[in-house]
Structure 1
Amino acid sequence: MGLVSIEGIHVALPLKKSIKHASHQRTVSDSLIVRVTLDDGTIGYGEGVPRSYVTGETIETALDALETAEIARQLESPSDFETAVNRIAAIRLPSIQNDPRGMFGNAARCAVEIALLDAYGRRFNRSMSDAVRQLLSGQSYLRARPGPVRYSGAITAEGARKERISAWKMRIYGFQHVKVKVGVTGQDDPSRLRRFRKILGSSMDLRLDANEAWAADELLERIAPLRESNPSALEQPVPHRDVERLAELRPQLGIPVMLDESLCGEPDALRAIDAGLADLFNVRLSKCGGIAPTLRLIDLAVQNGLGVQLGCHPGESGILSAAGRHLASNLVGLRYVEGSYDRHVLAENLTAPDITFRYGGRALPLSGPGLGVAVQSAPLEQMTVARRELAP
């Protein structure tokens, strides 16, 4: 069952409200949707979220990377699902010069990997969870069977009134974990955290995400007043250019440090482990290159005693939400899980049925072949910005 066509589709997903953090602000989310067709007519969809300020990618560079990857040659014609999964996991995009972090093309690889797993899952009537379980075979952190997922909530940087409403929603909705965006210019973070702690209660696991907001030289001063709110983790406090400074600063912070923008590929992970830069890794499918590369990063974290957050890209569609669900529902020991915010964030989605998490951030494993969700043609057409037929 060979691959006969690949189409790259640039979509602009409308957000219900602006998403703001220290690095960026957006009212729409641009995604790369990849549509693959097998020689029996089976179709699969995947998604990547190229972000120039994370992996250096744009929609155009992601499409260019796929154009020259010779995916069909790497796949050949697998005769069964297991062979297809192994070959998809081994797919490599052409390397480029000056990419020491192994990250350029990660969103493109993620999109085509998910599309192929979706297509071959449908062709052989197998779930993407089966692919995840095959790739995790023998690992101690593989669940005995796919199980429920507990997602965390998030409070973005908004005005005081809106933030209070968000905090009350988190409490009323029964979340156990909440992430707060900090470091945005003009925000009084110590006061914000005190307000949140009063609303959320002392038992809420409250963690912080700075999105590279602070220079290394000011980090200790910035963090000192935030510790009184007892945060459980601090995500990406410094820009990537300063990340090596965390080797000296991390022991003085009094808060476990999580890497995000500085964790995009295996070289990043190995450097962080060797230099002692982090206590936790935030892995995201698009940022890290898809399911197979993400699992390799998780394994490095587990083997070296680091915690793992399975994150997401704000504004991703139900395609990446579903792929993340398949991963999370088969893993034990994840410290935090983000994703499936679909109807809470998107004004309109690409997929059905709705897989947004329920009360308390709870969600069940997905069933059915492939991703377990279907891409709807009408919203896809409505949100399409541009299309490109790619050489398979």
Structure 2
Amino acid sequence: MRVANWHIYHVRIPLKKTIRHASHTRKATDSLIVRCTLDTGQTGWGEGLPREYVTGENIDAAFAMLRELPNSATLHASFENEREAVRTASNWDIVRPSNAVRACYGNSARCAMELAFLDAIFREVGRPLSELPAMTNSLVEHPKIRKRVRYSGAITAESAKKQLQQAVKMRLFGFHQVKVKVGVSEIDDATSLKTIRRIVGRKVDLRIDANEAWQCSDVVRNVERLSSSGITSVEQPVPHSDVVGLSKIRPQLSVPIMLDESLCHREDAVRAYNEGLCDLFNIRLSKCGGILPSLELKQMAVNFGLGFQLGCQVGETGILSAAGRHIACAIEPIRYLEGSYDRFLVKEPLTKENLTFGYGGRARAINRPGLGVIVDEAALSRVTIREHSQTVH
């Protein structure tokens, strides 16, 4: 097996509603879709969502990086089996500009490419991607895969009124975990959170995400104001540029700190542990560079004695939803699980299968080879802005 062709799409995915948090307001998302074709004719699909305010690259930079393809001679290698292919993909890198501030620059492009490659390889050998985590160390015949997983819900920060409406939906839909976006100036978080708690009930695990909205000097006061609502963690309370200040704040807090924008690469993970910046990692496939780097971050969290969330990014289509489902069914112990909002959020999920979670956030494992989904190429055509094809000689 070897790669014969890459096809890159810049797509614009419209959302069914405006999503707002302290860092950004979004009505659509510009994403990368990649199709990898092997010399056998087998194809695979990948997806990445560039976020300039997270990893540094915008859609134009990410598209340009994919046109350059990986900075690795192994791109042209042949593979006897999936183990060799996984080993090769783990060494892939994207050509980053010399002025890139962080090592995570270009992670969305790498994610799209790696996922398309792994999807094609695992389709070819007839194995689902949920068997990948066991494969990173040793190839086992029957790895333990959960038959179902349970996602958490999210309440955005559009307005206090809409937050309460969303809380009612969370209650009616039977979610066991709910994340609330905080830090928007027009909303009194303490009042809103108390009402949300009354609506969803005491048994629901309630956490907050500040999306870099606060200053270090305000974190302790803000968290303590909200802690009476029984929150179980606070996600990315300060901007990445101020994250070093969390080492002094953390011992004063009654709830764990989760890093998101400040946790995109193994360098971030090492720094977070060495400097005592957090208690939890938020691992999202696109911002962390794909499945293999994300699995590395998961293992680092376990080795460091920290917890982790398997998260998602706003506007993910069924391609990344499928990838997240495979990983969620194969790894543990996940503290919180996000994703598979497909038909609740995006107007073009891009897959013929409906991967949206069901009542209570419950969803079944995917047992078909590779990602186990069929891309709707008519839908893909409707949202494509530009594309580029490159044959590998």
Cα distance change of structure 1 residues 89 and 222 upon mapping to structure 2, 3 Å threshold? same
Contact kept in structure 1, 2:231 and 2:255, CA below 8 Å: yes
CA distance in 1, matches of 2:287, 2:137: 20
CA distance in 1, matches of 2:333, 2:135: 18
Cα distance change of structure 1 residues 208 and 382 upon mapping to structure 2, 3 Å threshold? same
What is the aligned partner in structure 2 of residue 114 from structure 1? 115
What is the aligned partner in structure 1 of residue 189 from structure 2? 189
> Over residues 299-327 of structure 1, what are the superposed CA-to-partner deviations in whole Å (9 max), with x where a residue is unaligned?
11101110100000011100000001110
Amino acid at match of 2:190: P
In the TM superposition, 1:16-95 aligns within 5 A as 16-68=16-68, 69=70, 73-74=74-75, 76-95=77-96
What is the CA-CA distance between 1:70 and the residue it aligns to? 5.2
CA distance in 2, matches of 1:80, 1:252: 51
Contact kept in structure 2, 1:157 and 1:163, CA below 8 Å: yes
CA distance in 1, matches of 2:217, 2:342: 38
Partner SS for 1:238: coil
Larger deviation, residues 40-49 vs 17-26? 40-49
Partner SS for 2:195: helix
The total of aligned residue pairs comes to 390
Partner SS for 1:53: helix
> Over residues 212-234 of structure 1, what are the superposed CA-to-partner deviations in whole Å (9 max), with x where a residue is unaligned?
00111222232221111110000
CA distance in 1, matches of 2:345, 2:272: 32
CA distance in 2, matches of 1:270, 1:45: 31
Q: CA RMSD in A?
A: 1.8
In the TM superposition, 1:265-304 aligns within 5 A as 265-304=265-304
Amino acid at match of 2:9: I
- With structure 1 as the length reference, what TM-score do the two structures score? 0.95
Amino acid at match of 1:128: L
Larger deviation, residues 319-328 vs 72-81? 72-81
CA distance in 1, matches of 2:27, 2:289: 25
Unaligned runs of 5+ in 2: none
What is the aligned partner in structure 1 of residue 333 from structure 2? 333
CA distance in 2, matches of 1:349, 1:64: 24
Contact kept in structure 2, 1:321 and 1:340, CA below 8 Å: yes
What is the aligned partner in structure 2 of residue 384 from structure 1? 384
> Over residues 46-79 of structure 1, what are the superposed CA-to-partner deviations in whole Å (9 max), with x where a residue is unaligned?
0000110000111221122223325674351112
What is the CA-CA distance between 1:345 and the residue it aligns to? 0.8
Contact kept in structure 2, 1:70 and 1:391, CA below 8 Å: no
In the TM superposition, 1:1-392 aligns within 5 A as 1-68=1-68, 69=70, 73-74=74-75, 76-99=77-100, 101-135=102-136, 137=138, 144-390=144-390, 392=392
Partner SS for 2:52: coil
Contact kept in structure 2, 1:33 and 1:46, CA below 8 Å: yes
What is the CA-CA distance between 1:111 and the residue it aligns to? 0.3
Cα distance change of structure 1 residues 93 and 164 upon mapping to structure 2, 3 Å threshold? same
Contact kept in structure 1, 2:159 and 2:186, CA below 8 Å: no
Partner SS for 1:91: coil
Contact kept in structure 2, 1:324 and 1:339, CA below 8 Å: yes
CA distance in 2, matches of 1:22, 1:83: 43
CA distance in 2, matches of 1:352, 1:126: 20
What is the CA-CA distance between 1:207 and the residue it aligns to? 0.2
CA distance in 1, matches of 2:164, 2:371: 36
What is the CA-CA distance between 1:17 and the residue it aligns to? 0.2
Contact kept in structure 2, 1:352 and 1:373, CA below 8 Å: yes
What is the CA-CA distance between 1:143 and the residue it aligns to? 6.9
What is the CA-CA distance between 1:172 and the residue it aligns to? 1.5
CA distance in 1, matches of 2:348, 2:39: 32
What is the CA-CA distance between 1:238 and the residue it aligns to? 0.3
Larger deviation, residues 92-101 vs 7-16? 92-101
CA distance in 2, matches of 1:132, 1:239: 32
Partner SS for 1:363: strand
What is the CA-CA distance between 1:391 and the residue it aligns to? 6.1
Contact kept in structure 2, 1:157 and 1:182, CA below 8 Å: yes
CA distance in 2, matches of 1:245, 1:391: 48
CA distance in 2, matches of 1:369, 1:239: 40
What is the CA-CA distance between 1:176 and the residue it aligns to? 0.7
Contact kept in structure 1, 2:207 and 2:234, CA below 8 Å: yes
What is the CA-CA distance between 1:144 and the residue it aligns to? 2.5
CA distance in 1, matches of 2:233, 2:138: 30
What is the CA-CA distance between 1:95 and the residue it aligns to? 4.5
Larger deviation, residues 144-153 vs 302-311? 144-153
Cα distance change of structure 1 residues 30 and 362 upon mapping to structure 2, 3 Å threshold? same
Unaligned runs of 5+ in 1: none
What is the CA-CA distance between 1:168 and the residue it aligns to? 1.3
- With structure 2 as the length reference, what TM-score do the two structures score? 0.95
Amino acid at match of 2:115: I
> Over residues 317-376 of structure 1, what are the superposed CA-to-partner deviations in whole Å (9 max), with x where a residue is unaligned?
000000011101001211000000101111221002101111111111101111011110
Amino acid at match of 1:175: F
Amino acid at match of 1:372: G
What is the CA-CA distance between 1:137 and the residue it aligns to? 4.4
Larger deviation, residues 76-85 vs 110-119? 76-85
CA distance in 2, matches of 1:163, 1:67: 41
